[in-house]
C-alpha cells in the first residue's frame, strides 16, 4: 500500500472521521471563529502585554500555549488506535518503519537555509533586527522549544498531512483534492495568527504555500517524515532566532525585529520563499530520494487496494 491507501488498513467510516476531526481540530476551529466574529476592535499586542504583566515570562506563556498540543496529539493517537483500529506507523509512513534519517535531513536542510538566509540579510542590513540575547532566558527557551514543539508540529502534521490527507484520499479517490483541501485548511486555521492582522491576507499565500510544500513532500515520499523534520526546524527557529511585537510567537529569541509592525520588505520575505525557495527545496529532496512519476503521485487515483 502507498501512503494514502493506509486509511484502508482500519475502520474509516465517515462518522469516525468527523468525530475525530472535530475533537482534534477544535482548538483551531475555536481560534478561527473567535478571530472572525469576536476579535474586531481587539488589539492583539495589547492583550499579549496584559498577559505578560500578569505573569512576566514569555517562556511561561510559550509553554502554556504549547501544552494543549501534548494532550491533542495523544488524543489523536488514541482515536486512531482504538476507534479506527490502525497503527500509528500507518499514519506516519508507508514504509515498514519510520525513517528518522529523513526527519533529520529535512530538519537540517531548513535550519541551514534559514540560518544562511538570516546571516546574509543581517550582515547586509543590520538595522532590521537588534540582538537581545539573554543567556538564561534563551537557554530556557531552547529547552521548552525542544521539548514541546515536537508535539505542536506533530499534531499539525499528523492531523493535516496524515489523518486528513489519508481519509480525504479514501473519500475522493484521488490525490490532488486531499492535497489542495488540507493545504487550504492549514492556511485558514493559521489565519487567526497576529501576523495576519499586521500584514494583511497576503501572508495567507505563505501559510497555504507552506501547506502545499509539506503536502507535496508527503505524497511524493509516501510518508510524513520529511514534513515533520521541516516543520520542526522551521518552528524551532521561528521561536529561537527572531521575534517581533506582532508575531504569533512572543519569545526571548536571540534577535528582534526593530519594526513595530510588518512592512513591505517583511511581506516580501514571507512570500518569496513560496515562489523561489520552496521549489528549490523540492528539487533537492527529489534528487536525494529519487522522486519520479510526479503526475501520478500528485494527481493520480487512490484505490482501496495496494499499489
Q: How many CA atoms lie within 13 A of 136 on its CB side?
A: 1
**What's the first-to-final CA gap in the chain, in angstroms?**
5
pLDDT at res. 307: 42
State how far the alpha carbon of 12 is from the alpha carbons of 164, 166, 234, in Å: 11, 10, 32
Q: Per-residue pLDDT tens for 64-77? A: 999 999 999 999 99
Enumerate the β-bridge partners of residue 129.
257
Q: How many CA atoms lie within 13 A of 26 on its CB side?
A: 12
Q: Which residues of the chain have pLDDT under 70?
A: 38-53, 194-200, 246, 259-269, 305-307
User: What average pLDDT does the chain have?
Assistant: 89
Give dist(CA 125, CA 224) in Å, integer: 37
Residue by residue, DSSP assigns the chain as: --SGGGGGGS---HHHHHHHHHHHTHHHHHHHHHHHHT-TT--HHHHHHHHHHHS--HHHHHHHHHHHHHHHHHHHHHIIIIIS---HHHHHBSSSS--HHHHHHHHHHHHHHHHHHHHHHHHH-GGGEEE---HHHHHHHHHHHHHHHHHHHHHHIIIIIIIIHHHHHHHHSBSHHHHHHHHHHHHHHTTTSHHHHHH-GGGHHHHHHHHHHHHHHHHHHTBSHHHHHHHHHHHHHHHHTEE-TTSS-----SEEES-SS--HHHHHHHHHIIIIIHHHHHHHHHHHTT---HHHHHHSB--SS--
pLDDT at res. 306: 52
**What is the pTM for the complete model shown?**
0.91
Break the chain into its structural domains and give their ranges: 4-299
Q: Per-residue pLDDT tens for 256-283? A: 987 655 555 556 667 788 888 999 999 9
Q: Per-residue pLDDT tens for 22-58? A: 999 988 888 788 777 766 656 555 666 666 667 778 9
Question: Radius of gyration (Cα) for the chain, nearest Å?
Answer: 20
Enumerate the β-bridge partners of residue 131.
255
Amino acid at each position: 500500500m502507498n501512503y494514502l491507501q493506509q486509511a484502508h488498513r482500519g475502520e474509516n467510516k465517515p462518522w469516525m472521521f468527523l468525530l475525530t476531526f472535530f475533537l482534534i481540530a477544535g482548538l483551531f476551529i475555536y481560534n478561527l471563529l473567535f478571530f472572525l466574529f469576536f476579535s474586531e476592535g481587539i488589539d492583539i499586542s495589547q492583550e499579549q502585554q496584559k498577559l505578560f504583566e500578569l505573569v512576566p515570562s514569555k517562556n511561561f506563556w510559550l509553554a502554556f500555549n504549547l501544552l494543549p498540543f501534548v494532550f491533542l496529539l495523544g488524543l489523536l493517537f488514541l482515536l486512531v488506535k482504538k476507534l479506527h483500529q490502525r497503527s500509528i506507523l500507518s499514519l506516519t509512513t508507508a514504509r515498514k518503519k519510520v525513517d528518522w534519517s529523513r526527519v533529520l535531513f529535512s530538519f537540517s536542510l531548513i535550519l541551514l537555509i534559514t540560518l544562511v538566509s538570516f546571516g546574509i540579510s543581517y550582515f547586509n542590513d543590520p538595522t532590521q533586527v537588534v540582538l537581545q540575547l539573554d543567556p538564561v532566558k534563551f537557554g530556557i527557551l531552547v529547552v521548552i522549544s525542544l521539548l514541546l514543539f515536537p508535539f505542536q508540529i506533530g499534531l499539525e502534521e499528523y492531523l493535516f498531512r496524515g489523518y486528513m490527507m489519508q481519509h480525504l484520499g479514501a473519500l475522493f479517490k484521488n490525490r490532488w483534492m486531499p492535497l489542495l483541501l488540507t493545504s487550504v485548511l492549514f492556511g485558514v486555521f493559521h489565519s487567526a495568527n497576529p501576523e495576519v492582522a499586521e500584514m494583511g491576507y497576503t501572508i495567507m499565500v505563505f501559510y497555504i504555500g507552506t501547506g502545499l510544500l509539506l503536502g507535496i513532500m508527503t505524497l511524493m515520499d509516501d510518508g510524513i517524515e520529511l514534513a515533520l523534520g521541516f516543520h520542526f526546524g522551521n518552528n524551532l527557529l521561528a521561536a529561537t532566532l527572531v521575534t517581533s511585537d506582532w508575531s504569533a510567537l512572543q519569545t526571548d529569541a536571540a534577535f528582534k525585529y526593530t519594526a513595530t509592525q510588518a512592512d513591505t520588505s517583511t511581506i516580501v520575505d514571507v512570500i518569496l520563499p513560496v515562489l523561489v525557495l520552496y521549489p528549490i527545496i523540492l528539487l533537492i529532496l527529489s534528487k536525494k530520494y529519487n522522486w519520479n512519476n510526479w503526475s501520478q503521485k500528485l494527481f493520480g487515483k487512490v484505490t482501496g487496494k495496494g499499489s
